[in-house]
């Protein structure tokens, strides 16, 4: 059960049951769809970018607890950040869930996803929203498929 509790921490369960920023963003100026064709998880990330800053961000979609919680916590983490800072955060987050870094590295609440590194097949769940965010940051409109 200990591994499982590492994976399904209270914060993750909370965000999966009550995802934050879970709606369309009416005044979004960037949007991207992410889809994992293997498991069927779908996420749409809406961004309002202003002067190189993530002024607002939200998401919609269906997915497992890990992917939903990850999307939810991601929106909280990147709101108010610059594009460069958001990208940089993703790099560190990716390192965390793939077990390449085991330090907190200023990841804040995102550190609850450390347990994912014990479950390699679930890494794609934790990163789907982030890949989609990246796609939204890179271009005005688009759909990505990850792994």
Partner 1 sequence: MPAADLRLPERAGLDVEQIRRDFPILREKVNDNPLVYLDNAATAQKPQVVIDAIQQYYQSYNSNIHRGVHHLSQQATEAYEKARVKAQRLLNAPESREIIFVRSTTEAINLVAQTYGRKHLQAGDEVLISAMEHHSNIVPWQMICQEKEARLRVIPINDKGELLLEEFERLLNERTRVVAVTHVSNALGTINPIEQIIEKAHQYDAVVVIDGAQAAPHMALDVQALDCDFYAFSGHKFYGPTGVGILYGKGDLLDSLPPYQGGGEMILSVSFEKTTYNVVPHKFEAGTPNIVGGIALGAAIDYVNEVGLENIGPYEDELFGYATEQLSQFSELKIIGTAELKASIISFVMDGIHAHDAGTILDQDGIAVRTGHHCAQPVMDHFQVPATSRASFAFYNTKEEVDILVQGIRKVIEVFK
Query: Closest separation between CB of residue 7 and partner 1, Å?
Result: 7
How many Cα atoms are found within 13 Å in the side-chain-facing hemisphere of 130?
25
Determine the Cα–Cα distance for residues 59 and 80; give it in Å rounded to an integer. Answer: 16
C-beta closer to partner 1: residue 1 or 26: 1
Q: Tokens 């990208």 — which residue?
A: 87
Rule CB under 8 A: choose which of 45, 66, 77, 78 binds partner 1.
Answer: 66
What are the structure tokens assigned to 89, written together? 């955060």
How far apart are the two ends of the chain, measured CA to CA in Å?
Answer: 28
What beta strand segments (E) does 3-127 contain? 30-35, 42-50, 53-62
Does 79 engage in binding with partner 1 (CB under 8 A)?
no
* Region near partner 1 per CB under 8 A, out of 20-28, 52-60, 93-101, 114-122: 114-122
Of the candidate spans 18-26, 58-66, 105-113, 129-137, the one that interacts with partner 1 by CB under 8 A turns out to be 58-66
In 79-114, which residue ranges form alpha helices assigned H by DSSP? 83-97
Sites for partner 1 among residues 4-43 (CB under 8 A):
4, 7-8, 13, 17, 38-42
Minimal distance, residue 1 CB to partner 1, in Å: 8
Nearer to partner 1 (CB atom), residue 22 or residue 82: 22
Nearer to partner 1 among residue 35 and residue 79 (C-beta): 35
Helix (H) or strand (E) holding 17: helix 10-17
Contact between 125 and partner 1 per CB under 8 A: yes
**Separation of CA 17 from chain center:** 15
56 and 78 Cβ atoms separated by less than 8 Å: no
Interacting residues with partner 1 (CB under 8 A): 1, 3-4, 7-8, 13, 17, 38-42, 62-66, 68, 119, 121-122, 125
């Amino acid at each position: 059960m200990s591994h499982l509790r590492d994976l399904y921490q209270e914060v993750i369960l909370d965000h999966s049951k009550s995802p934050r920023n879970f709606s369309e963003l009416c005044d979004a100026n960037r949007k991207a769809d992410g889809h994992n064709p293997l498991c069927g998880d779908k996420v749409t990330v809406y961004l309002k970018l202003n002067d190189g800053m993530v002024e607002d961000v939200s998401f919609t979609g269906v997915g497992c607890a890990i992917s939903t919680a990850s999307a939810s916590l991601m929106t909280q983490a990147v709101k108010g950040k610059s594009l460069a800072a958001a990208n940089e955060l993703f790099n560190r987050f990716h390192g965390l869930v793939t077990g390449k870094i085991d330090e907190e590295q200023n990841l804040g609440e995102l550190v609850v996803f450390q347990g994912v590194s014990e479950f390699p097949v679930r890494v794609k769940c934790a990163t789907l929203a982030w890949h989609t965010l990246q796609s939204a940051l890179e271009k005005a409109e688009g759909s990505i498929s990850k792994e």
